[in-house]
Amino acid sequence: MPSETDPRAYAYLVGVGVTHSIAPPMHNYIAKALGHDWTFIAKECPTVEDAVELFRRSDFAGGVVTMPYKRTIMDHLDGLDEYAVRLGACNNVYRTSDGKLRGTNTDWRGIKGCLLGASAEGRGKPAVLIGAGGAARAAIFTLHDQLECQQIYLVNRDRDEVQVLLEEVKQVYGDGLEIVYVERVEQVAGLPSPYYIVGTVPDAEPSTPDEVEVHQIIGSFLSIPQEKGVLLDMCFKPRKTRILQAGQANGWKTMPCAPAIASMSLGRAWVHSLPEKLSQAAKAGFKGVEIFYEDLEYLAKEKGPVNDSTLLAAAQETRAICDHYGLEVIGMQPFLFYEGLTDRAQHREKIERLKLWFVIVKILGTDIIQIPSNFQSEGISGDLDLIVSDMIEVADMGLKEEPVVRFAYENLAWGTFISTWEDLWEVVRRVDRPNFGCCLDTFNIAGRVWADPASASGKTPDADAALAASIQNLVRTVDVNKVFYVQVVDAERMQQPLIEGHPFYVEGQPARMSWSRNARLFLYEQERGGYLPVVQVAEAFLKGLGFEGWVSMELFSRSMADPDPTVPETHAQRGIKAWSRLAEELDL
């Protein structure tokens, strides 16, 4: 809020169709971290004049400008810096010390960081640009001035927009840059292959003949048989746009990873409400969330007895909250105690229950159901043929759904028969269905191969060598396309062996299970006792395998049941801090 010395209080994202933006929680967190008591608001502005009116207020702290005003806003400002002038577009507005509104353009910095962060091998090679608006001008500047691309293939449905852009390019860049307007699919085959592709248009189903032609042209570029480079789509909702999905399917590099967190990691459902946990996840800066079934159950209880109807209502409410905060549901878990049941009547009950889960995940807007390996002590079989058959059954059911539902199998370090990634991978390999893959977890690998909470040393014999061999084999063996998401988490070293007499000991329960439920930690929390070689394992996932996708901070801990109302916030902040440090250390 404004102070006596600084009246600035509100920053805005202005444009059309901005209410779904993920920007507010991210910018609010940044402002707080910088010591500014500002509130960032996504404001729908039917006209550019509406945006300018907000910017002229005395409590204006800053503005982010998006479609369709990146060009029209410029005539309403008191000044423009060299980048806004050179690019002919403005995406940020700030107030100078003398009270003037000044515009700049930072889009090009983001584009440059993304493209070079993925690969610098495209310097000087042709590029594809999709769109001809304000963001396209920043992309041209980046590709030509920063990445030395001398030839850019322009794809856009509006010929008038293209003509205006071509005239500007000629004026600004002269003969040093060639823009090739690609209007027909047939042109693609005759062009040298591009290395970079940058999309600057909204994600939408093509409806007009011109739009269909544009998508066919893009598809032709994406399916070229030559070297595949880097694809950047600046559209942020949905996270996986049509262009990104097509690019990934054709082998293009995309921006690799985004942070998520499991809902139960922010507090147990009987103590902390799901709406509050989702709010804190978004506030911290997470982009995605795993929904724990327990959270849906407790939300359903608020609506009456837990049944199919109240569970579906809880799912609808959860989806609405996530949409409000710009959170993507990356999956729902855990579909417990499924594979290898010896009582086939119980198996059939699980299959019937799965049909409800199919409905729930569609409401949540996700396509992933996570299945942890069965850890029951009796009533299950280790017969691999039976386990594989059970998994084929659910995978085939998922293939019949519209859209297709995927299954992420996870080896638990204390699983009765499937406890290692090698066990897990053998099941995935034999199931051999496109929608059946895995979730790789740093704890369940390091906690099984390297650590032993029942040991006085906290480690297995020859732990370092065993882990090194394991992850080397993992990188050599696992098909990254079968890794649907990964989880990154550490755990406390026990001060005494977790055996009878230990506070966490439960008779008949594997020590690793008791350890996991009580003493996991977020990464980089050595002051709390964290000691697993998590970064080493995470690096195998993210660099060795080259995984690109959701990285979830999944925590289980006794602290989740703490009734302190600040638990969701503190856990969210600890989780995002871990993600930020990991991203920095591994240069993600």
Angle of helix 511-519 relative to helix 442-449, nearest 10 degrees? 140
Q: Report the pLDDT value the prediction gives residue 119, as an integer from 0 to 100.
A: 62
Rounded Cα gap, residues 475 and 541, in angstroms: 8
Rounded Cα gap, residues 395 and 386, in angstroms: 14
What is the separation of C-alpha 239 from the centre of its chain, rounded to a whole number of angstroms?
A: 7
Q: How many CB atoms lie within 10 A of CB 352?
A: 8
Residue 298 and residue 348 in one domain:
yes
Task: Kindly tell me if the per-residue pLDDT of 422 is higher than 90.
Answer: yes
Q: Report the pLDDT value the prediction gives residue 519, as an integer from 0 to 100.
A: 87
Using CB atoms within 10 Å of the CB of residue 267, give its burial: 0 to 12 exposed, 13 to 18 middle, 19+ buried.
buried
Confidence of residue 584 (pLDDT cuts 50, 70, 90): confident
What tens digit of pLDDT does each residue of 466-497 get?
Answer: 999 999 999 999 988 899 999 999 999 989 98
DSSP 461: T
CATH label of the domain that carries residue 84: 3.40.50.10860
Q: Report the pLDDT value the prediction gives residue 33, as an integer from 0 to 100.
A: 65
Q: What is the DSSP string of 354-412?
A: HHHHHHHHHHHT--EEEEEPP--SSSB---HHHHHHHHHHHHHHHHTSSSPPEEEEE--
Task: Kindly tell me if the per-residue pLDDT of 441 is higher than 90.
Answer: yes
Task: Kindly tell me if the per-residue pLDDT of 234 is higher than 90.
Answer: no
Residue 50 and residue 142 in one domain:
no
Amino acid letter for position 149: C
User: Does a structural domain hold residue 559?
Assistant: yes
Q: How much of the chain exceeds pLDDT 70, in percent?
A: 96
- 70 a catalytic residue: yes
Give the total residue count for the chain: 588
Closest CA to 230 of 113, 372, 85: 113
Catalytic residue among 70, 228, 253, 277: 70
- In sequence order, which residues have a C-beta less than 8 Å from that of residue 526 and are 6 or more positions away? none
Of 63, 78, 105, which residue constitutes the final position of a domain? 105
Task: Kindly tell me if the per-residue pLDDT of 227 is higher than 80.
Answer: no
Over residues 420-434, the mean pLDDT reads 94
Over residues 100-112, the mean pLDDT reads 89
Residue 142 and residue 86 in one domain:
no
Over residues 369-392, the mean pLDDT reads 94
Q: Report the pLDDT value the prediction gives residue 238, as an integer from 0 to 100.
A: 66
Q: How many CB atoms lie within 10 A of CB 360?
A: 22
Over residues 536-563, the mean pLDDT reads 89
Q: Report the pLDDT value the prediction gives residue 114, as an integer from 0 to 100.
A: 72
User: Does a structural domain hold residue 468?
Assistant: yes
CATH label of the domain that carries residue 200: 3.40.50.720
Amino acid letter for position 373: S
Residue 191 and residue 57 in one domain:
no
Confidence of residue 239 (pLDDT cuts 50, 70, 90): low
Residue 94 and residue 128 in one domain:
no
Beta-sheet pairing, 92-95 with 127-130: unpaired
CATH label of the domain that carries residue 263: 3.20.20.150
Q: Report the pLDDT value the prediction gives residue 229, as an integer from 0 to 100.
A: 83
Residue 119 and residue 177 in one domain:
yes
Task: Kindly tell me if the per-residue pLDDT of 11 is higher than 80.
Answer: yes
Confidence of residue 156 (pLDDT cuts 50, 70, 90): very high
Residue 127 and residue 225 in one domain:
yes
Whether the Cβ atoms of residue 118 and residue 256 lie closer than 8 Å to each other: yes
Q: Report the pLDDT value the prediction gives residue 254, as an integer from 0 to 100.
A: 72
Q: Report the pLDDT value the prediction gives residue 331, as an integer from 0 to 100.
A: 94
Containing 579, the helix (H) or strand (E) segment is helix 567-585
Q: What values do phi and psi take at 235, rounded to 5?
A: -70, 125
Q: Report the pLDDT value the prediction gives residue 575, as an integer from 0 to 100.
A: 93
Rounded Cα gap, residues 44 and 66, in angstroms: 11
Rounded Cα gap, residues 425 and 117, in angstroms: 30
Please give the residue that has the higher pLDDT: either 582 or 204.
Answer: 582
Question: What is the total count of domains within the chain?
Answer: 3
Residue 237 and residue 261 in one domain:
no
Rounded Cα gap, residues 392 and 430, in angstroms: 9
Q: What values do phi and psi take at 438, rounded to 5?
A: -145, 165
Q: Report the pLDDT value the prediction gives residue 29, as an integer from 0 to 100.
A: 63
Q: What values do phi and psi take at 46, rounded to 5?
A: -60, -30
Please give the residue that has the higher pLDDT: either 546 or 273.
Answer: 273
Rounded Cα gap, residues 66 and 42, in angstroms: 11
Q: How far is CA 63 from CA 7, 10, 40, 41, 191, in A?
A: 15, 9, 9, 10, 40
Q: Report the pLDDT value the prediction gives residue 179, as an integer from 0 to 100.
A: 95
Over residues 306-315, the mean pLDDT reads 92
Q: Report the pLDDT value the prediction gives residue 120, as an integer from 0 to 100.
A: 66
Of 249, 275, 302, which residue constitutes the final position of a domain? 249
Q: Which residues pair with 550 in a beta bridge?
A: 258
User: Does a structural domain hold residue 148?
Assistant: yes
User: Does a structural domain hold residue 101?
Assistant: yes
Q: pTM value? A: 0.65
Rounded Cα gap, residues 237 and 202, in angstroms: 8
Task: Kindly tell me if the per-residue pLDDT of 404 is higher than 70.
Answer: yes
Q: Report the pLDDT value the prediction gives residue 51, as an integer from 0 to 100.
A: 95
- In sequence order, which residues have a C-beta less than 8 Å from that of residue 419 and are 6 or more positions away? 373, 411, 412, 413, 448
Residue 88 and residue 112 in one domain:
no
Residue 344 and residue 204 in one domain:
no
User: Does a structural domain hold residue 485?
Assistant: yes
Query: Number of C-alpha atoms within 13 angstroms, CB side, residue 585?
Result: 14
Closest CA to 573 of 348, 360, 285, 268: 285
Question: Across 149-287, where does the E strand assignment appear?
Answer: 151-155, 178-181, 196-199, 230-233, 257-262
Q: How many CB atoms lie within 10 A of CB 20?
A: 12
Task: Kindly tell me if the per-residue pLDDT of 240 is higher than 80.
Answer: no
User: Does a structural domain hold residue 4?
Assistant: no
Average pLDDT value over all residues in the chain: 89
Residue 137 and residue 281 in one domain:
no
Provide the b/e sequence for 172-195 (b: ≥16 CB within 10 Å): bbeeebebebbbeeeebeebeebb
Closest CA to 409 of 385, 446, 357, 373: 373
Rounded Cα gap, residues 539 and 442, in angstroms: 10
Q: How much of the chain exceeds pLDDT 90, in percent?
A: 61
Domain that holds residue 143: 108-249
Of 249, 280, 309, which residue constitutes the final position of a domain? 249
What tens digit of pLDDT does each residue of 26-81 get?
Answer: 677 667 767 788 899 989 999 999 999 999 999 999 999 988 899 999 999 999 99
Task: Kindly tell me if the per-residue pLDDT of 242 is higher than 90.
Answer: no
Whether the Cβ atoms of residue 36 and residue 1 lie closer than 8 Å to each other: no
User: Does a structural domain hold residue 3?
Assistant: no
User: Does a structural domain hold residue 176?
Assistant: yes
Residue 88 and residue 229 in one domain:
no
Rounded Cα gap, residues 154 and 173, in angstroms: 16
Please give the residue that has the higher pLDDT: either 109 or 432.
Answer: 432
Whether the Cβ atoms of residue 105 and residue 92 lie closer than 8 Å to each other: yes
